[in-house]
Structure 1
């Protein structure tokens, strides 16, 4: 029985796909092991959102070669689609598979027989236009939450982004398939599902035609018995409709948490980025959420240092975020990516300026998170505790994404428990008092 290990870089979508591919291996008789347990096969699922992700891939290949010099190293994912030859040239790589091929890797690589060192790595990589099939995926047995993929690809050509080049056109699963997967996940004992995709608000496209909508999907999943929580991972502001917000506000299972990419608080920069909305729409969305769900957590993606972003544009973004009733930021420092429109935009922002702006927004994010946590102290929430124990403490999230810590109790793992939020500790975790254990049915 050959042993296989997996390493995932990047987003929740990658995690859902890695987990599904791992189950395919197990069904074929392979044994899944940890990366450091001398596997015969290494599968590295890559990201290519930033230059740093590419560097990480090279580092992991080097580590795999150290662990088992005779191991078969296969690279899949976004970086593999975008730069197959560059990866094939990395010492120790045996095979590279693009977006259309990664779910066929067991058949394509036929036993994972390592070839002589002087032989070139095998490349299976079609043009991204060929990646038209949809492959259902979800993560399992990795944590209390499961990432359920509902959509793939993107039709939005944002100036800075390579994802349409790496994943292809927008395409979706069917509601029937997603509900079936959700029921399988519930049957395995998982209590929370996180919906993932490249552009999940665009859900419903099958063979280039819109058959269903994201709102239809949300309503169907809300009826899945036994599922305690559903979380929407990230949704574009122009696709987050009033109807979706209103439904989540009264939902049985969808939690009060939205993650909404902004990227810039400057309309000028949003235009340069080729985003499909302006800051005024973003304000409307945040206000609508807070009006209907005052305790809702709102996370924001923002990019600093995009070409054409002046100091004044950045300050405009900073002030916009400072004034907005949001809960935390995910800050990305712009990095140049080949074949993107942003490369032709001037002036280019100096690296030290990008770094300064990133630091300022990271500090603002911590302030926002602390303020949001403080607003909720003294209130009661349900926490889903995770199998993540450190120094005798266990952690979990409230429905509205506040991370709490409590004394370890094995009976609470993967259980919902009502707690009273007491105080914020130096690690930015909220300490709690028990109120009542909820029976789960």
Structure 2
């Protein structure tokens, strides 16, 4: 093969990012390919797709077409949620060589061997034309299939996927259809993978999953997220642990106690809200009332005054009238959330909500998204201002050259920080005294 390199283009959530990292690591160690990140030529180009919204699907198709144009020498591999949902959409794109659904993603390095397929610079192929499709119905899967990654990582904050799938079936959500039912990585395997990442020197490990609050409920014997966190927290080292998104109903007092008593678990809570209107939440099949969300956020703030508290908000769900939207806006306004992820609703084929009447005009959805986005920026601004003068625990992710003495890092409460006096500290934790707001999305400080 002319250039046995691999690079991966990842769309969507942290679980996709986690899987992409693991696939890249296995391709490097198992197949001997070089890692080209998301740039450069290579023998293999993998696009890990997303299908959570219509926009995500469009971006996935665009990414595949761009990869075909930009990497004529590479075998083009499409995987991820959109590939699971509609493999034919990618099989129809000229230049795609493999379409691999979620049920086979963990086998990707074996399916796409470095000598199995590559396209020469002249455009000829070394094997039969037409994409190879690996796809199966994953709705019956009950066993977690990890993409075992070797103990090699280029990230200072690698992901560890501990759970996959979802049993909730919210009326708007396509994820249970693209990811299957909830499945957990057994605790012994989770601990082993965690230790492997620590051996690389990672100063932070991010626990990810589609529904991590359900971790362990499918295992025999059953366990839970608190039990796993206690085990991981007991592992010695100078690292810290971060949780990805967790449902409000699963932010229990026990979980908050585990985090409060830990010197390693970051005070960062990303809590899906979706709507602040009880009627809309019920139509969404979300298993809580706005009051429960409010109570949990207030509880977090009382225990962790400087915690990051993020929220997902879905705007324009069928039946969301002006009064329902105002319920959402006012709830967010009065709660101590610190940042927002705002999504416009788009119907997902096959979901219950796709059949609902009462669609909201697109112009109205865009207007409401702008309103909530502006509110989120104001919340973030106030949060950042409140950090000035404080000392935060920062993982330095990137050091700059001699002409720029600021190094980029991430605080324990999920704030990008540009730090002075941090050259040579890449990949390590340091205290950083915050001196100013650097940009709309970051703080400035000095390592101490």
Q: Same fold (TM over 0.5)?
A: yes
- 8 Å Cα contact 2:153-2:197 kept in structure 1: no
Where does residue 291 of structure 2 map in the other structure? 280
- 8 Å Cα contact 1:171-1:206 kept in structure 2: yes
Where does residue 20 of structure 2 map in the other structure? 18
Q: Does 1:416 align with 2:420?
A: no
Deviation at 1:388, TM superposition (A): 5.6
Output the CA distance in 2 between the equivalents of 1:257 and 1:398. Answer: 10
Deviation at 1:428, TM superposition (A): 3.8
- 8 Å Cα contact 2:313-2:341 kept in structure 1: yes
Where does residue 144 of structure 1 map in the other structure? 156
Where does residue 239 of structure 2 map in the other structure? 228
Give secondary structure in 1 for the equivalent of 2:434: strand
* Residues 17-56 of structure 1 aligned to structure 2 (within 5 Å): 17-26=19-28, 27-56=30-59
Deviation at 1:356, TM superposition (A): 0.8
Give secondary structure in 2 for the equivalent of 1:100: helix
* Residues 336-375 of structure 1 aligned to structure 2 (within 5 Å): 336-375=347-386
Output the CA distance in 2 between the equivalents of 1:379 and 1:36. Answer: 38
Deviation at 1:121, TM superposition (A): 2.0
Deviation at 1:35, TM superposition (A): 4.5
* Residues 7-406 of structure 1 aligned to structure 2 (within 5 Å): 7-26=9-28, 27-109=30-112, 111-113=115-117, 119-137=129-147, 141-206=153-218, 211-387=222-398, 389=400, 392=404, 393-406=406-419
Deviation at 1:68, TM superposition (A): 3.0
Which blocks of at least 5 consecutive residues in structure 2 are unaligned?
A: 119-124
Where does residue 439 of structure 1 map in the other structure? none
- 8 Å Cα contact 2:422-2:446 kept in structure 1: no
- How many positions carry a matched residue from both structures? 434
Output the CA distance in 2 between the equivalents of 1:52 and 1:362. Answer: 18
Which blocks of at least 5 consecutive residues in structure 1 are unaligned?
A: 437-441
- 8 Å Cα contact 1:186-1:227 kept in structure 2: no
Deviation at 1:34, TM superposition (A): 4.1
- 8 Å Cα contact 1:100-1:133 kept in structure 2: no
How big is each residue's C-alpha offset from its partner over 1:362-410, in whole Å with a ceiling of 9 and x where there is no partner? Answer: 1111110111122222222222211164872222122222222123743
- 8 Å Cα contact 2:106-2:146 kept in structure 1: no
What TM-score do you get using the length of structure 1 for normalisation?
0.93
CA RMSD of aligned residues (A): 2.1
1:90 to 1:418, Cα distance in 2 relative to 1, 3 A: same
What TM-score do you get using the length of structure 2 for normalisation?
0.91
- 8 Å Cα contact 1:131-1:167 kept in structure 2: no
Which stretch has the larger CA shift, 344-353 or 129-138? 129-138
- 8 Å Cα contact 2:143-2:184 kept in structure 1: no
Give secondary structure in 1 for the equivalent of 2:250: coil
Deviation at 1:327, TM superposition (A): 0.8
Which stretch has the larger CA shift, 377-386 or 232-241? 377-386
